Structure 1
Amino acid sequence: MRALTGGMDSTIDVLVPERGKPVVMRRYLDKGSPDSAIALACREAEVLRALKLTSVAAPGLVAVDRRGEHCGTPSVLTEFMDGSREVPGDPRTLAAGLARTMATIHDTSPQALDDGLPDATGLVLSALSEECPDLHDQSPSATMWGLVRDQPARSEMGPKTLIHNDFAPHNTLFVGDRLSGVVDWTLAAAGHPASEVSFCRLNVALVLGLDAGDLVLEAYEAQIGVRLTDRGWWDLVAAARVEPDLHSWGLFIL
């Protein structure tokens, strides 16, 4: 068994049997809410099962221990995917791979997920309301949350598609210059494509600079052939999602 880095709400290990192919076990941490760990395991298993019939490069589901009866905590067992987190050295190549993969995800609508995904846009709008005052008080990005809250937002906030909801280089695998896989589908939801693109380009910009982040947007819009709507609002939302301790990101990004 070999531990992998990554996973802020879980531990991740590669299991190498004497016979057969290696698999990856994600064990969800019980952070005082067993129901939350169960929900995360069930959601990832459901999404991976549905994605198996699509062209999205996601790991195949092997098994799920929903209540931790066998693994001690809710867990998901998946196929091992080839690749590493070493991204292409050329920012344009990186942006093209990220954009192409996001577009594939957003163009995928597995029927099995039609009614089972959380509403990512609704969660954001709820977080901006008085229903979640603690979030605003504690957030290091309180100023950004204020800017988002002050912007007029349409009730529907545009189209909703399948989104990974944590799509960034730290959740992708590369073989050379080719993006070979997308992992960690725990937060998958139904949401606005622009929310995904804004979050991804922010992550790239934090590591490689603003120009590299802009390349992600440029490549995505070229991929889908139209301009994204509501992008400015979602850029603010992405900025407000930044974690307090950026130094801790060294374990997860690039």
Structure 2
Amino acid sequence: MSIHGEAAAVRPLTLAWVSRHLEVGERIVRTEALHGGITAEMQRLTIGTRDGETRDLVLRTFVNVEHAEDSLSRETGALTLLTGTGVPAPGLIAADLTAAHCEYPSLLMTHLTGRTVLDDEGLETRLPLLARQLVAIHALRPAERPRKYVTLTTADTVVTPKGTDGEGWAAAIDVIRKPAPPYEGRFLHRDFHPGNVLFDVPPPTRAGARITGVVDWASASWGPADLDVAHCSVNLALLHGPEWGLRFPEAYEEASGVLAATASERLYWLVRDGLAASEEVQLVSQPWREAGRTELTTRAVEERLDAYVIALMDTLS
């Protein structure tokens, strides 16, 4: 077996495990590291078939990740649920939740065409596509619900960036000290944002962009649609500017999505996920810089987060 590319780094036990899940006569002919992930190593495996053609798979490996078994269990459950729903998610091939066969917990799945698009250019066109895709996810009614959503911050763990509007942040933190508003449960991706959505973006002379895939379902859960909208909104605000974060809830409603009835309820969810970003600005901005958005330094992203949180408070409180 000849393995080329960066993933000559596919570990021996994992390589043997993958090979056991290939068709008779197939072999791995090339591997490539996929960049942009935060919690796991991602590798594209090109498989040579018996008829001389190739197909691609994706190997997701959780290396030294706390609660890897839980995350993989959620993801495999979500991918199983999504089969046949029309939501463009990877197809599950195999999972080793406890590293019984691999060096680390691992997931093998089909490869989706397309790429992530993090540039400002064309965002006006992509925003409604993101909104419509999220509405479609929330429309799913699984026979077995995934577990309840997990909040990503508390009033006591918020990290207030330096030089921010201290009074405004204090008011925002007070918002999430209150009990969560009542909500109608929906199937949530829980990490829906441009970095987890694949696009086909053709040349200007052809038809417009389209979504070809939604990936990273490790946080799939059950909860308020507002929470998924809030998570995408803060990511849009940090990637493209606060005004885009504010526009996404409107785009979601224009796509026939239903959000909380009152401004105070909407504010709770938007602020909760906005403040959660304060704890991981450095973590989320690094993959963006590696993808070419070199201007998104930790400080620049902190400034956008500050502006976004204050804008939420000014607009909805």
TM-score of the two chains, using structure 2 as the length reference: 0.68
| Residue correspondence of structure 1 range 1-254 to structure 2 within 5 A | 1-19=31-49, 20-31=54-65, 33=66, 36-87=67-118, 89-111=121-143, 113-114=144-145, 117-120=146-149, 123-124=150-151, 128=154, 136-137=156-157, 139-141=158-160, 143=170, 146-154=173-181, 157-176=182-201, 177-224=209-256, 226-229=258-261, 230-244=265-279, 246-253=281-288
- Identify the residue that residue 132 of structure 1 maps to in structure 2: none
Q: Distance in 2 between matches of 1:178 and 1:87?
A: 14
- 1:61, 1:79 within 8 Å by CA — same for their partners in 2? yes
Of the two, which has the highest radius of gyration? Answer: 2
- 1:144, 1:239 within 8 Å by CA — same for their partners in 2? no
- 2:176, 2:272 within 8 Å by CA — same for their partners in 1? no
Higher relative contact order (CA 8 A, sep 6+): 1
Consecutive unaligned residues in structure 2, runs of 5 or more: 1-30, 161-168, 202-208, 292-317
SS at match of 1:57: coil
Return the letter of the residue paired with 1:178.
R
Task: From the superposition, tell whether residues 243 and 146 of structure 1 become closer, same or farther in structure 2 (CA, over 3 Å).
Answer: closer
Q: Offset of 1:227 from its aligned partner?
A: 5.0
Q: CA RMSD in A?
A: 2.4
- Identify the residue that residue 165 of structure 2 maps to in structure 1: none
Return the letter of the residue paired with 1:140.
V
Deviations 1:93-116 (A, max 9, x none): 1210110010000001221x32xx
Task: From the superposition, tell whether residues 251 and 52 of structure 1 become closer, same or farther in structure 2 (CA, over 3 Å).
Answer: farther
Deviations 1:76-101 (A, max 9, x none): 11110101112572332121011001
Q: Distance in 2 between matches of 1:146 and 1:210?
A: 19
- 2:183, 2:260 within 8 Å by CA — same for their partners in 1? no
Task: From the superposition, tell whether residues 252 and 143 of structure 1 become closer, same or farther in structure 2 (CA, over 3 Å).
Answer: farther
Task: From the superposition, tell whether residues 70 and 150 of structure 1 become closer, same or farther in structure 2 (CA, over 3 Å).
Answer: closer
Task: From the superposition, tell whether residues 64 and 143 of structure 1 become closer, same or farther in structure 2 (CA, over 3 Å).
Answer: farther
Q: Distance in 2 between matches of 1:47 and 1:144?
A: 36
Return the letter of the residue paired with 2:70.
A
TM-score of the two chains, using structure 1 as the length reference: 0.83
Task: From the superposition, tell whether residues 100 and 225 of structure 1 become closer, same or farther in structure 2 (CA, over 3 Å).
Answer: closer
Moved more, 79-88 or 199-208: 79-88
SS at match of 1:13: strand
Q: Distance in 1 between matches of 2:102 and 2:273?
A: 35
Q: Offset of 1:225 from its aligned partner?
A: 5.8
Q: Distance in 1 between matches of 2:257 and 2:270?
A: 20
Q: Offset of 1:145 from its aligned partner?
A: 7.3
Aligned pair count reads: 236
SS at match of 1:73: coil
Consecutive unaligned residues in structure 1, runs of 5 or more: 129-134
Deviations 1:127-151 (A, max 9, x none): 64xxxxxx825x4159577323333
Name the % identity.
28
Task: From the superposition, tell whether residues 251 and 146 of structure 1 become closer, same or farther in structure 2 (CA, over 3 Å).
Answer: closer
Return the letter of the residue paired with 2:277.
V
- 1:87, 1:94 within 8 Å by CA — same for their partners in 2? no
Moved more, 169-178 or 224-233: 224-233
- 2:192, 2:232 within 8 Å by CA — same for their partners in 1? yes
